[in-house]
Amino acid sequence: MLIKKPSDIKGSEITDKETYLNRRRFLIETSAAAAAVATGFVFPGHLGDSGEAHAGTKLDGVRKSPLSTGEKKTPFKDITNYNNFYEFGTDKYSPAKKSKSLITRPWTVAVEGEISRPKVYDVDELIKLSPLEERIYRLRCVEGWSMVIPWVGYPLNALIKVVEPTSKAKYLEFVTLYDPKQMPGQRRGVLDWPYVEGLRMDEAMNPLAILAVGLYGAVLPNQNGAPIRLVVPWKYGFKSIKSIVRIRFVEKQPKTAWEKAAPNEYGFYSNVNPEVDHPRWSQARERRIGEFFKRKTLMFNGYADHVAHLYKGMDLKIHF
């Protein structure tokens, strides 16, 4: 991108094990009940038998999505060891090493702003809001590398429908946790923390935009944005904000963290576009992690059939 703790504490170790498991069971049961009230459906438990939500725990009942790419998946090792997560350092290898300090339970996501049903969701309740699917998506990073990642999640539009946006809701603003104790990278002023991202309402409603809670069939590792993150496959990777604590529906276009850091380099839209170069490098080609030769970058990262209509009539050199 632009610029370049504490020990392994898990929720289960802070509280004594039995209290912790009881609380988790309580949260899982009450959130299932709340989801049933909100949506009229009861989905099967998404976590495995243990009910634990730690990275690597298998997620149950995950369906395959027809929206997946058939390309070869990037190995789990690369997806989880080559990351951008500036809250844990600016090099690619730090997040895997340093993000163990992130405590992902209990975790809440405040959904607020221009909606009829604002609510602070427990993340486990949010996970159960809609059936989980495996979506194998290309991720194209602005720096020129790419991966193919089997995310587990559900369309963001499932949540949007539940909270009922008002007519004033034109954009969504997403915010990452701000806690320099857990996120040591936030002690440095590399970005104006917390990390903020945004989508226009019609982009957010597009079925390709997902809230992801897992990858390779299991709970998301911390370095990939646990416990819940956005994945927007037709945009550069930095739009896919990690470890979300707030989703706000707003009237005005939000200022994103990268726009604030370098407005001439990172625009609000940030659609993958081989024809619009980054001021300091070309975006025409990319290197798929694990491959030697570069390949051509595809318009909208190969998702043009699904999203090109969203930008009809817009000059994408201006709205980059």
Q: What is the DSSP string of 96-158?
A: HHHGGG---SS-EEEEEESBSS-EEEEHHHHHTTS--EEEEEEEE-TTSEEEEEEEEEEEHHH
The overall longest dimension of the chain from CA atoms, in Å, is 58
| Paired residues of 231 in beta bridges | 210
Nearer to ligand MTE, 50 or 282 (CB): 282
Site for ligand MTE contains 107 (CB under 6 A)? no
Site for ligand MTE contains 193 (CB under 6 A)? no
Site for ligand MTE contains 1 (CB under 6 A)? yes
For ligand MTE, the binding residues in 34-93 under the rule CB under 6 A are 83-87
| Nearest distance from C-beta of residue 231 to ligand MTE, angstroms | 9
Q: How far is CA 186 from the centre of its chain?
A: 19
Site for ligand MTE contains 176 (CB under 6 A)? yes
| Nearest distance from C-beta of residue 229 to ligand MTE, angstroms | 7
Site for ligand MTE contains 195 (CB under 6 A)? yes
Question: How far is Cα 288 from Cα 274, in angstroms, rounded to an integer?
Answer: 15
| Nearest distance from C-beta of residue 166 to ligand MTE, angstroms | 27
Question: How far is Cα 171 from Cα 203, in angstroms, rounded to an integer?
Answer: 9
CB 280: neighbour CB atoms within 10 A?
8
Place of tokens 């994945």: 231
| Nearest distance from C-beta of residue 314 to ligand MTE, angstroms | 23
| Nearest distance from C-beta of residue 138 to ligand MTE, angstroms | 11
The contact pattern for ligand MTE, residues 3-42, with x = CB under 6 A and - = no contact, is ----------------------------------------
Residue 131 tokens read as 């059936």
Site for ligand MTE contains 210 (CB under 6 A)? no
Question: How far is Cα 173 from Cα 196, in angstroms, rounded to an integer?
Answer: 7
For ligand MTE, the binding residues in 228-257 under the rule CB under 6 A are 237-238, 240-243
Interface residues with ligand MTE (CB under 6 A) are: 1, 83-87, 139, 141, 176, 195, 224-225, 237-238, 240-243
